[in-house]
């Protein structure tokens, strides 16, 4: 094999992709694809992109992530989140490449009150979660050498996310009413990208040997209300008020509990991600602009 691997990165303009691109460059020649250059809803384009780039590693950071809109756009969500990962895995297998893919805590129904292990029965409550679960299964069905990292509540310094929304609203509202009965773990996109790059740094063969499904997440847990309070800080204005999910109706149902147990990842890769509050503090001390993909 070439001494320096070629890495095909999809979704390079997304929250995670933007953070992955510069970090992966330390470990290989990165071919960064955004939706404009590779539309994952186009099966033929995926095949052509992989055959053209001939990567040793594919990192699929692209996904249809509009959870509420997915209820109306199920066909598109499934094409991007279910069919595309299967094609990427099939193509990876054909050329002996490794695939890294990301999935979500929304594959679970949230009925548990203790962290979900990887083998807990999945039962998505919404179209997005179902499409992501289908993607996981499509990858596994190919028998490709693939690592699927389930994570949760991603935020970062670019894109559309809870951190930036709360920061913006905090600037012009006296009161923020935030859901307090959904529990999960906020994850900074940088932390997830750093963990991915660390895993990749082992080289392709050790990576391939560690194929499988892993929960990749910061530790600790929070409600959206607690997350908002941590973002806003200890200030008198805006007042952050806890509300029930029923007081904030949205098209897609969310799991009430989505904390992922991360023991498997820690045992296999030998490190853990920081507590979410520590990661948030680090993120908050960063300048507001994100690195370019
Ligand atoms: N966001 C979360 O809270 C969360 C939680 C758990 C797991 N995850 C998973 O983590 C991974 C990374 O998520 P993220 O937060 O970085 O998402 P994101 O910020 O929404 O980025 C997703 C990227 O995928 C691209 N994309 C969408 N449709 C596409 C298509 N048809 N073809 C090619 N690219 C397309 C988007 O491009 P455009 O910008 O042009 O739309 C965007 O750049 C995904 O697998 C996601 O399912 C996310």
Q: Which of 8, 14, 279 to mutate to test the pocket of ligand 1 (most atoms within 8 A of CB)?
A: 14
For 163-197, how does the pLDDT look when each residue is reduced to its tens digit (9 = 90+)?
Answer: 999 999 998 999 999 999 999 999 999 999 999 99
CA atoms within 13 A on the CB side of 60: 35
- CA 242, CA 229: separation in Å to the nearest integer? 10
CA dist 150 and 14 (Å) reads 17
Task: Please pick, among 64, 106, 128, 225, the residue that the annotation labels catalytic.
Answer: 128
Q: Where are the alpha helices (DSSP H) in the chain?
A: 15-24, 43-53, 74-78, 84-95, 127-142, 162-172, 189-200, 204-209, 224-232, 263-269, 276-284
Residue written as token pair 């095909």: 8
Q: Above 50 in pLDDT, residue 85?
A: yes
* Contact indicator for 23, 200 with CB cutoff of 8 Å: no
Annotated active-site residue 116? The verdict is no
Residue 57 to residue 63: CA distance in whole angstroms = 18
| CB burial of residue 245 (10 Å; 0-12, 13-18, 19+) | middle
Q: Report which protein residue has its CA nearest ligand 1's atom 7.
A: 104
151 touches ligand 1 (CB under 6 Å): yes
Question: 153: Cβ below 6 Å to ligand 1?
Answer: yes
Q: What is the pTM of this model?
A: 0.96
Query: How confident is the model over 135-146, as a mean pLDDT?
Result: 98
Question: Scanning the structure block, which residue is given the tokens 């997350």?
Answer: 227
The answer, yes or no, to whether any atom of ligand 1 lies below 6 A from the CB of 14, is yes
Chain segment 229-269, per-residue pLDDT in tens:
999 998 878 899 999 999 988 999 999 999 999 999 999 99
């Amino acid at each position: 094999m070439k001494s320096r691997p070629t890495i095909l990165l999809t979704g390079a303009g997304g929250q995670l992709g933007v953070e992955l691109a510069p970090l992966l460059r330390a470990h290989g020649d990165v071919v960064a694809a955004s939706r404009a250059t590779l539309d994952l809803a186009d099966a033929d384009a995926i095949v052509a992109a992989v055959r053209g780039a001939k990567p040793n590693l594919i990192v699929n950071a692209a996904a249809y992530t509009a959870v509420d809109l997915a209820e109306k756009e199920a066909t598109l969500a499934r094409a991007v989140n279910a069919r595309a990962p299967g094609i990427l895995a099939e193509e990876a297998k054909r050329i002996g490449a490794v695939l890294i893919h990301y999935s979500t805590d929304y594959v679970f129904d949230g009925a548990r009150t203790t962290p979900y292990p990887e083998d807990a029965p999945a039962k998505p409550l919404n179209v997005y979660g179902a499409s992501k679960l289908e993607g996981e299964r499509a990858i596994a069905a190919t028998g490709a050498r693939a690592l699927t990292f389930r994570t949760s509540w991603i935020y970062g310094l670019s894109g559309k996310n809870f951190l930036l929304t709360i920061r913006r609203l905090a600037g012009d509202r006296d009161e923020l009413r935030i859901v307090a009965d959904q529990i999960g773990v906020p994850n900074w996109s940088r932390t997830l990208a750093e963990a991915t790059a660390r895993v990749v740094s082992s080289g392709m063969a050790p990576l391939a040997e560690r194929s499988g499904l892993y929960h990749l997440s910061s530790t600790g847990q929070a409600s959206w209300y607690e997350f908002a309070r941590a973002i806003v800080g200890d200030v008198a204005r805006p007042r952050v008020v806890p509300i029930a999910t029923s007081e904030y109706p949205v098209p897609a149902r969310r799991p009430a509990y989505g904390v992922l147990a991360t023991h498997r990842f820690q045992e296999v890769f030998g490190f853990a991600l920081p507590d979410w509050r520590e990661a948030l503090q680090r993120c908050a001390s960063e300048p507001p602009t994100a690195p370019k993909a």
